Amino acid sequence: GENVEQHPSTLSVQEGDSAVIKCTYSDSASNYFPWYKQELGKGPQLIIDIRSNVGEKKDQRIAVTLNKTAKHFSLHITETQPEDSAVYFCAATFRTDKLIFGTGTRLQVFP
Amino acid sequence: DAGVIQSPRHEVTEMGQEVTLRCKPISGHDYLFWYRQTMMRGLELLIYFNNNVPIDDSGMPEDRFSAKMPNASFSTLKIQPSEPRDSAVYFCASSGGQGRDDTQYFGPGTRLTVL
């Protein structure tokens, strides 16, 4: 069945430290893995994505890694800032057009 | 582009009343998705359309929920009759489809409260 597991559910870090959020997926045919950031009172916003033909992608302080064999992918945020505080969701495609979302990680960055 | 537009932003209604949520996707996008977000169940896909045709409605909780997309620029999600357990934030998202930009862009959501 379709399933994306996300850990941890909450994460607290000191400003400047790194944060890592991990996800696993069940459908070996999944080929697109986006990460969304949701701030309070707003809709989820895409921050980075990766496709199955790539193992790693980086955009400034944010990076995503993908291990297709293990069906794992992770979000890495370096040099965290208070404005990084939000809920982060991973997702994976299921049957091409459908996205299945993880349960979310609430990240708090303390100054 | 103004992004995905949803209305109303907040809706408070009484149990048994009909509720209609509205969505305008990003122009040119041919996929439209309706999601529901609650603390207990997270972000759930309810239904999605491709070229105005419903493709998968397996996430629609029950017959009280219905969705339509009469044209490429408008969709509705209707709940009739509404119940307190329908209280949630409902999001609409649109995308350009596989092979093009399959990023889903979310609207700001409609917060529904059923008393």
Q: Tell me: pLDDT of A1 over 70.
A: no
What single DSSP character describes residue B101?
-
Least confident range of A65-74, A93-102, B30-39 = A93-102
Average pLDDT rounded to a whole number, residues B34-48: 93
Cβ pairs bridging A and B (under 8 Å): 45
Contact A52, A31 (CB under 8 A): yes
Asked if A97 is an interface residue toward chain B (Cβ–Cβ < 8 A), one would say yes
DSSP-based three-state secondary structure for B51:
coil
What's the pLDDT tens digit per position in A34-63?
Answer: 999 999 999 999 999 998 888 899 999 999
Asked if A40 is an interface residue toward chain B (Cβ–Cβ < 8 A), one would say no
Cα(A66)–Cα(A55) distance, integer angstroms:
5
Least confident range of A13-17, A97-101, B51-55, B56-60 = A97-101
Cα(A24)–Cα(A20) distance, integer angstroms:
14
pLDDT, residue B24, reads 97
Average pLDDT rounded to a whole number, residues B81-107: 88
Query: And the tokens for A87?
Result: 């809920």
Q: Tell me: pLDDT of B15 over 70.
A: yes
Average pLDDT rounded to a whole number, residues A19-36: 93
Asked if B113 is an interface residue toward chain A (Cβ–Cβ < 8 A), one would say no
Cα(B26)–Cα(A4) distance, integer angstroms:
27
What's the pLDDT tens digit per position in A81-108?
Answer: 999 999 999 999 877 678 899 999 999 9
All residues of chain A having their beta carbon less than 8 Å from the beta carbon of residue B93 are 43
Average pLDDT rounded to a whole number, residues B37-48: 92
b (16+ CB within 10 A) / e for A39-55 = eeeebbeebbbbebeee
